[in-house]
Amino acid sequence: MSRRPAGALAGIAMILLLASPARAGAAGTVFGDALRVPHPGLPLDDVVQGEPTAGAARIAASASSQRYSIDDGSGASIAVDITSACAANCTADDPQQIADFIGTLIHGPEVDLLTVQLDTPFQIIFDCGLGAEACYYSGEDKIVLSGDEETGSDGASRDFVLAHEYGHHVAQHRYLPAPFGGAVNWGTERWASLEHVCQGRRHGRLFPGDEGSHYFEDPGEAFAEAFAHYRFPLAFVRWRYSAALRPTPAAFEAIREDTLSPWSQQASFALSGHVPARGEGAAVEILPTPLDGMVSLRPSLHRRGYELALRSRAGRLLRRSRHSLDSRGMLDYTVCGESRLRLTITSTRRRPGPFKLQVQRP
């Protein structure tokens, strides 16, 4: 579950929490021991939870649900759930308005899976945690949002917050190549490659999926925030995430491409040629690697007799295969920020011969 930290809403919710007894509320929602308030992290920000709390389940059970067209001409629709307390007390709980706004966001087929649940500000404490203004349940394809119009201390409107949460929904339904984790934590493939998320993680500057003390260095959250800025390019919303991930025109283009034409599988192609005899040089191939992820090289000739080596553009050795004539001689390497690799094929035989490789890359 991902949460966006609240501004003024957190203070309002805290006042309501302290003032409300642990019994039936005015709108008929029961708050007892089952409605445990999630403990805030340090700072008050997002965390990931596998399952809703008992309190969140109780709130969801009180909601009425109906599907609404997003009115963008695609025929897509979303489910909008309104809790009974929100139906009685919220000031901006028009479900068609929510659906119409979703229709203004770039999206793929994942939009049909979405549920938006409208809560009172008080209920959001139990659904999303103290200090949050909205959240996304990745296992349920559900955004929980305030049924009131709220503006956070960073200047984010409710629509901006909804766009941020939809960014999580997009990432939840996108794939990353091995060996990376889920795009909901790393950001989508083209965006994450452009923003050097892999390098940032290796050097201890970015923390995919860490929505505790490193919330603002979590690329999954930065992706969702950049997604919202893509929808609202003129919004005066302060960028609080890692400065290295501040969106640029190229980042916006990557977000658009990842949303509308997602990366789905490794590209595969063959390389072939001749390698000089042992000691007389090497065959050299340049492999463009525009996206991060695993590159795999597989010799495909029965009689191989050559060694593979991958080097950086500057010539630094990255990975080498050493094998005898009857070994498989496979080579795998995780691209992490390199835009191209230099492949050298060196013969282990006294005479020149052919080589043929099957290459897979993101």
The string of pLDDT tens digits covering residues 327-337 is 456 889 999 99
For 296, the domain range is 267-361
pTM, entire model: 0.86
Same domain for 336 and 229: no
pLDDT digits (tens, 9 = 90+) for 7-30: 534 443 343 333 333 333 333 333
Q: What is the CATH number of the domain that holds 333?
A: 2.60.120.380
How is residue 97 written in tokens?
């308005």
Same domain for 178 and 158: yes
Same domain for 278 and 254: no
Residue 238, burial from CB neighbour count under 10 angstroms (0-12, 13-18, 19+): exposed
If you average pLDDT over residues 247-268, what whole number do you get? Answer: 96
CA–CA gap between residue 197 and residue 223 (Å, rounded):
11
How is residue 158 written in tokens?
């409710």
Domain count, the chain: 2
Same domain for 68 and 170: yes
Edge-to-edge, what's the strand order for the sheet holding 353-361?
Answer: 267-275, 353-361, 293-299, 331-335
| 31: nearest Cα among 48, 16, 44 | 16
Same domain for 129 and 13: yes
Same domain for 186 and 315: no
Same domain for 208 and 125: yes
Q: How confident is the model at residue 116 (pLDDT cuts 50, 70, 90)?
A: very high
Of 260, 288, 316, the residue that ends a domain is 260
How is residue 66 written in tokens?
């109906």
Same domain for 166 and 282: no
Whether 91 shows a pLDDT value over 80: the answer reads yes
Of 221, 237, 260, the residue that ends a domain is 260
Of 233, 260, 287, the residue that ends a domain is 260
